[in-house]
Amino acid sequence: MRKVLFIALSVLLVIFVTSCALFEKPPLLKTITVDGDLSDWGDYIYTDPSDDSKPSGNEIYKAGIIFDEKNLYIAGEIKTEVEDTVLGPIPKFLPTILVDLSGTNGASALKDENGKETLKIENGNIDLVFLFGFLSVYKEGEFVLLTDNGQIDGKPLYKIESKTTDDGKTRFEISVPLDKIGVTDPNTLKARAVVILVGGEQEPIIPDYAPNQGFEKADGKYTLPITIKKMIENPKK
């Protein structure tokens, strides 16, 4: 009897220790190689419908957000029309990425240069924004470029790599150290993101969202501010 009891207690002790060890690890331990190749994302990449853009021809194919104990990773695969300008060909639409991180105090909305709200997250805040090819973090009431001096000419504190496929798609990956964006405990972190293709001059034209929002318009034209209702999330609820 004593032997059986001893064995049972030993098994319970092993289970308890193992459970504690797992609890101490961040909920996701997927380290990504930032090289513009999305193959190592596995099931953590979201696949968007490939024919749902409005206007058509400007698609988000994939998007993802994940983290390990040191870095946050963001990825996407897009394709957009190109316009010929005096400066040469440029994309007609650019990706804008909004990130909401648990445990941090982000902005209630993204605003334009006149202080007008443009993008908001329903039941969330904006902690990071990727806009016009630059990553900014919300600090002390404003968005600051994530560079060593907070200016556009500074050294980026994040890594970004991209590749263009033979069929004209652009794949990109971004990694940013968690300690640079206010995350102190990855064990309790939840990360959400939305990728948006944005263009237009007088009024925004948005041909595609990832994930889809459920309020997409046939002409891609929207009245500001736009409230994001759905996001890619890890760990999943």
Residue 14 lies in a domain: no
Residue 17 lies in a domain: no
What CATH code is carried by the domain that includes residue 189? Answer: 2.60.40
Give the Cα separation of 82 and 199 in Å (integer). 11
Q: pLDDT for 71-87, tens place per residue?
A: 999 999 999 998 888 88
pLDDT at residue 29 in the model: 67
Give the residue from 102, 123, 36 showing the smallest Cα distance to 74. Answer: 36
Range of the domain at 129: 27-234
Give the Cα separation of 131 and 26 in Å (integer). 28
Residue 4 lies in a domain: no
The percent of residues in the chain predicted with pLDDT above 70, rounded, is 87
Burial classification of residue 225, based on how many CB atoms lie within 10 Å of its CB (0-12 exposed, 13-18 middle, 19 or more buried): middle
pLDDT at residue 203 in the model: 82
Q: pLDDT for 116-175, tens place per residue?
A: 999 999 999 999 999 989 999 999 999 999 999 999 999 999 999 999 999 999 999 999
Res. 18 pLDDT band, cuts 50 70 90: very low
Domain count, the chain: 1
Give the residue from 64, 61, 138, 51 showing the smallest Cα distance to 97. Answer: 64
Residue 7 lies in a domain: no
- Segment among 4-13, 51-60, 159-168, 215-224 with least mean pLDDT: 4-13
Give the Cα separation of 114 and 40 in Å (integer). 41
Contact 83, 169 (CB under 8 A): no
Give the Cα separation of 55 and 197 in Å (integer). 11
